[in-house]
Amino acid sequence: MNAIIRDPLLRIRPLRESDIDAIMTVEQRCYDFPWTAGIFRDSLRVGYICWGYFLDQRLVGYGVMSVAAGEAHVLNICTDPEVRGQGLARRLLQRLINQARERDADTVFLEVRASNRVAIGLYESLGFNEIGRRRGYYPADQGREDAILFAKAL
């Protein structure tokens, strides 16, 4: 287990609209094509499951998931580059999976850029299975990139 996971200042809580600026700071550091503040605001407004990890008072990771009709969809999961490789994304995804179970979802879905080998390894280690591809789903510097679709039966 890594240092950040044992840090007594690490806390998880539901995200609030007042966290949007901090979310955007991390989002823009992590993605060439980040979500907008409006997308996060809408996610909170419609009641999506939105959790954030805070180290001391600084947001270091977050996840957004929708649940409806027995299906959960992980829409965004992100950790600050400064804390990557310490198990935070795993814990965050496990939290979302548990939230999906509590809401009687029978399957969790997500998609990931085909080039994101680290995330793919994480998803597979947590029991997600590849179920398909979406050709040209994501914008990329050189055109478009495929998304790999994953599912995990609960």
pLDDT per position as a tens digit, 94-117:
999 999 999 999 999 999 999 999
Of 137, 138, 142, the residue nearest 33 (C-alpha)? 138
Residue 6 scores a pLDDT above 80: no
| Residue 2: pLDDT over 80 | no
Tell me if residue 31 is catalytic: no
Find the catalytic residue in 48, 53, 62, 123.
Answer: 123
Active site residue 53: no
* % of the chain surpassing 70 pLDDT: 96
Rounded to two decimals, the pTM is 0.92
Which residues lie below 8 Å from residue 24, measured CB to CB, with a gap of 6+? 34, 37, 40
Chain centroid, CA 153 distance in Å:
18
- pLDDT tens string 37-89: 999 999 999 999 999 999 988 999 999 999 999 999 999 999 999 999 889 99
Specify which residues 11 forms β-bridges with: 54
pLDDT tens profile 110-149: 999 999 999 999 999 999 999 999 999 998 888 999 999 9
- Domains of the chain: which residue ranges? 3-153
Using alpha carbons, select from 28, 53, 24, 25 the residue that is nearest to residue 40. 24
Residue 116 marked ligand-binding: yes
Distance CA 77, CA 105 (A): 19
Question: For domain 3-153, is the CATH number 3.40.1640.10?
Answer: no
Q: Which one is catalytic: 27, 48, 111, 138? A: 111
| pLDDT value for 1 | 45
